[in-house]
Amino acid sequence: MTNPRIAVVSAGLGEPSSTKLLADRLREATLAALTAHGQHAEAVDVTLRPLAQDIASHMLTHNPSEALGAAIREVIDAEAIIAVTPTFNMSYSGLFKSFFDVIEEGQLASIPTALGATGGTARHSMVMDTAMRPMFAYLKAQVVPTGVFAAAEDWGAASGLDRRIAREGQELADLMVAMPRRREADPFDESSDAFVSFEQMLGHA
C-alpha cells in the first residue's frame, strides 16, 4: 500500500507568505504525529497563487487547465487536507473560496481536515469559526477541533503558536488513523456494487 498523502492548500498571496509558513508548520506537525502512529505519510503542496487565473477561467468555462486539474486531483485524492487562508474582510480570501468552489460537490465528503488562517491581528481570529468551519461543514469534511490562527505578532512572541500547531497536527494525525475518509464509488464504474442500472432507475430492480 502506498503512503497516505496529505494535500496542503495555501492561499497566501505574498512571497514569502506567512500563510504558506503556517501551512508548512501544520504539515510538519502532522507528519511528525503520524510517524509516532507508525505511519509514513507524504505531503503535497497546493499553492493557489499561481492557479488564480486558471481558477477564474474554470469558473467561467467549467474547464480546468491542466495545472488546475492536477491540483484539484491532488486534493480530492488525498487522505487528508490542511487548508490555510489569509483573512480578508473578516473571511477567507476570495481565491481560497474560489478554489473550493470549482471542486465538484461531494468530492471532499469525510476527508480529515485541519484549518489554519493568518491575519494582521488576533482580532481576526474568528474567521476560523465564522467562515471556514461552516464552509467545510457544508463540504461534509471532518474538521479537527483545533484551528490555528496566526496573527502577525504571533511569529515574534512566545504566543503558544508552536503548541497550538503541534496540537492541531496531532488531532489531524489521530483522525486520519481513527476515521480515515470513505470514498464514494465512481458513478462510471459499472463493475461497482453502487452502479445504478437502468432497471433500478425505472424501479424494476
Partner 1 sequence: MSSMQFGIFSVSDITQDPTTGRTPTEHERIKGWIAMAKKAEEVGLDVFAAGEHHNPPFFSSSPTTTLGYIAAQTERLILSTATTLITTNDPVKIAEDFAMLQHLADGRVDLTLGRGNTGPVYPWFGKDIRDGIELAIEHYALLHQLWHEPVVNWQGKHRTPLTGYTSTPAPLDGVAPFVWHGSIRSPQIAEQAAYYGDGFFHNNIFWNKEHTERMVRLYRSRFAHYGHGEPEEAIVGLGGQIFMKPTEREAKDRFRPFFDVAPVYGHGPSLEDFEQMTPLTVGTPEQVIEKTLAFRDYAGDYQRQLFLVDHAGLPLEEVLEQIEILGTEVVPVLRREFDRVRPAGVPDAPTHAARVAAAKEAGTQLGEQGRAWHEQGERRDLDTGAAIARQEGEVA
- Residues near partner 1 (CB under 8 A) are 56-57, 60-65, 187-188, 190, 196-198, 201-202
Q: CB of residue 21 vs partner 1: minimum separation in angstroms?
A: 32
Give 107 or 125: the residue with its C-beta nearer to partner 1: 107
Which of helix, strand or coil describes residue 201? helix
Least distance to partner 1, CB of residue 48, Å: 17
Q: How far is the CB of 46 from partner 1 (least distance, A)?
A: 20
CA dist., res. 135 & res. 101, Å (int): 10
**CB-wise, 3 or 197, nearer to partner 1?**
197
Would you call 130 exposed, middle or buried from its count of C-beta atoms within 10 A (0-12, 13-18, 19+)? exposed
Buried b (16+ CB within 10 A) or exposed e, 43-82: bebbbbeebbebbebbeeeeebeeebeebbebbbebbbbb
**CB closer to partner 1, 71 vs 81:** 71
Smaller CB separation from partner 1, 155 or 195: 195
**Residue 61 C-beta: closest distance to partner 1, Å:** 5
C-alpha cell at 24: 508548512
